[in-house]
Amino acid sequence: MQAFWQNVLITGASSGLGRALAEACAAPGVVLHLSGRDAARLEEAAAACRAKGAEVQPRVIDVCDADAMAAWIQGAGRLDLVIANAGISAGTGGTTEPTAQTRLLFETNVTGVLNTALPALEVMAAQSPGADGLRGRIAVVSSVAAFVAAPGAPTYCATKAAVQRWAEALDATERKRGIRMHAICPGYVRTAMTARNKFPMPFLMDADEAARRTLAGLARGKTRIAYPWPTYMLARFAGALPISWRAAIFSRLPAKGDGNL
């Protein structure tokens, strides 16, 4: 897909959907600010983007470090698109979810998104509008899991619901400042994270296809970008079931394993 944004910042860009998004945005004239926690994998992603002609500024950083994230984002210069992609996944394995796991998922998937989006909002608010009339776009990566409270992954579902609803609600007011907010809600994407899942993953798609759909949705200005359609509809349907029905159904399905961080 032809790059649409010239200055892009992506967290969790060293692998999976984050790397696919980075490579999809890479093109001559594009400046990519990429972060990840694994220096070697991040440099591999940066090299792949440079091979496509992009200027790449990689940074090894943990999204849970609010001060470091703010300094990085505020020092990046103009930002046309920020994608808060970094996140982790884990389930209960059919038992009580460990306390440490619950806290880690909230810290990474919710606080980490805020540590990305809030400084980006400040930077964009001070920018002049670009060619599209906007000061910038911020996309937070949620999941179709946001629409169903699955007993096997309560914290994961809760964290993804939190950032999805926050981004969609905030979009209405940020438009007045010339900033757009977007909630990215993918279904199952083939990555190292989902490779650990021991249960069927319907409509599993490659990361490159997920990146293409994400960027296409952003280019069309969609506030919620959910795909693939069948998985999204299944999640919405399951989320609308009576709680007792949903619990009974999910109790018969294989549990999402813990330690899937």
Question: Which of these is catalytic: 156, 188, 227, 232?
Answer: 156
156 tagged catalytic: yes
Residue-wise DSSP of the chain: -----SEEEESSTTSHHHHHHHHHH--TT-EEEEEES-HHHHHHHHHHHHTTT-EEEEEE--TT-HHHHHHHHHTS---SEEEE--------TTSPPPHHHHHHHHIIIIIHHHHHHHHHHHHHHTSPP-TTS-SEEEEEE--GGGGS--TTSHHHHHHHHHHHHHHHHHHHHHGGGTEEEEEEEE--EESTTGGG--S--TT-EEHHHHHHHHHHHHHTT-SEEEESHHHHHHHHHHHHS-HHHHHHHHHTSPPPPS---
**Catalytic annotation, residues:** 156
